[in-house]
Amino acid sequence: MKYKKLGQIYTPKWIIQEILDEVDFRGEKILNQKIIDPACGDGAFLIEIVDIVIGEAKNRKLGLEDIRNILENNIYGIEIDRDEYRKCKTNLNNIVRTKLGIDKIDWKIFNDDTLTKYREFLNFFDYVVGNPPYIRIHNIDREIRDLIKNEFEFSKGVLDIYLSFFELGLQILNRQGKLGYITPNSFLRNSSAKRFRRFLKDRKIVRTLIDFKSNKIFRNISTYTAITILDLNHRKNSFEYKEFIDGKIKKVDEIQFQDLEDSSWSFSSPENRDFLINLYQNRNYKISDFFNVQYGFATLRDKIFIGNITDSKDKLVLFNNYWIEKSILKKIVKGSTYKGDRADIKYILFPYIRPDNRFTPIQEEELASKFPFAYNYLLQHKEELLKRDRDKNSNWYEFGRSQGIQACNNEKIILGTLMKEEINFYFLEKDIYLYSGICITQRTTNIGFDTLSDILKSDEFKRYIAIQGKDFSGGYKSITTNLIKNFPIASIYLKNSRFQPMLDFL
């Protein structure tokens, strides 16, 4: 599928116009300035740019040859897909033919890979604009993946390639340059984008940030987006924060760079910011001081590891249409859908043992000898299991990630990762494990699950999540382990186990 391979998403015209307005691409000055779309596709941004340039040139009474010279020398694009590259040039030629009566322009549009081509244009452009490809690094060919990880500082870990386009975009700007992109808004909160956030904060180059939150800008694409305007000549200690409200982009706040946290950027109204300030005042403890908060198992192939028991004989059970040893299975629930109904309990093939109170993988020879049916089942799926982007140095038959394994064998509170009006959570015994959700276990006996239950049900915790959580369609907010860990505990919780707390701020 071309979208997944190349990350192509086509940009609405009004978004293009908004970005060009935000970078101040207007007036006589643009006739002497250079602009590029580094992932130009079929030319959506460039079409609008050419239209603006031609209009400005005509207003200045420039002749056809002067306009041709401007178009050929100031407007650039790069596109890796040959079909889209051809469409782009055709579309641009159609514009100049219609508006100027010129049949052909020698466009500076390149059919090339921006990840390497950009080196030819360091410190060159006045404007970099566009809609970079949305594609996860693990969907890229290994050669390009290695290039990204070795060459781009913002692209460490499993990230979308758009962060690399931010980095290369900044490198090809001149000292007075401006960059305007529409991208996923995941860089505002994801821990893997922490380096990028710190860079923006330290350099103070953010001019405007427009978060579309749960509004889906692209048809048939579930990506949540933001427009980011960077200005290398930005000389302020703050930037404008805007949101898409009632079908219009509106300013919400002026954000001070000094107030930004490296861990996550979550912006809201001044009233909500005051609530958060009051929430943190005079509170010396967080939930993480008393509880372990982790995501559940991440097998990266749930359809292989998780299923139901449909039959049994002796010590074997029929699991996903294979007979395997029952003793290697553990009970498990899915945090995102579990509502407390015991009928929703499934089973997970658990290739781990627990000597010395710590889970370790069963060695392959031991797995084959003690659990020959389960081992044969895993062998039948080995090719698929090897395709996972699993933890380094892990065995092919282990879960893709080791998260949650050590804490699983404890009594726990579990919850999903989305909230609407209420936060639903459930208590589970130690022998029932969790995937696709959040697991909370006790670190200390100072505070018990009854007190934690009061905290999770409190109005201030729900408001905290509503402000800090990422927006999803349908009015949902994301709940993350970091948000839970960092929630400050009021002193009254440390003294009493059952109460309804008063809000610090109304």
Per-residue model confidence as pLDDT tens digits over 84-107 = 999 999 999 999 999 999 988 999
Q: Is the pLDDT of residue 494 over 80?
A: no
Confidence class for position 495, pLDDT limits 50, 70, 90: low
Domains contained in the chain, CATH given: 2-205 (3.40.50.150), 292-442 (no CATH)
Rounded to whole angstroms, how far apart are CA atoms 435 and 417? 11
Assign 312 to helix, strand or coil: strand
More confident residue, 5 or 354: 354
Average pLDDT for 12-35: 97
Confidence class for position 446, pLDDT limits 50, 70, 90: confident
More confident residue, 207 or 357: 207
Confidence class for position 473, pLDDT limits 50, 70, 90: confident
Average pLDDT for 353-361: 91
The two three-digit tokens of residue 68, written as one number: 């041709």
Rounded to whole angstroms, how far apart are CA atoms 37 and 352? 50
* Most confidently modeled range among 43-57, 256-270, 464-478: 43-57
Confidence class for position 8, pLDDT limits 50, 70, 90: low
Q: Is the pLDDT of residue 410 over 90?
A: yes
More confident residue, 172 or 283: 172
pLDDT of residue 498: 39
Averaged pLDDT of the chain: 90
Rounded to whole angstroms, how far apart are CA atoms 306 and 15? 43
Q: Is the pLDDT of residue 497 over 50?
A: no
pLDDT of residue 136: 62
Average pLDDT for 377-405: 93
pLDDT of residue 496: 53
Please state at what angle helix 459-468 crosses helix 449-457, rounded to 10 degrees: 60
Assign 291 to helix, strand or coil: strand
Q: Tell me which H or E stretch contains 457.
A: helix 449-457
Average pLDDT for 355-374: 95
Q: Is the pLDDT of residue 221 over 90?
A: no
Percent of the chain with pLDDT over 70: 93
Phi, psi of 128 (to 5 degrees): -125, 120
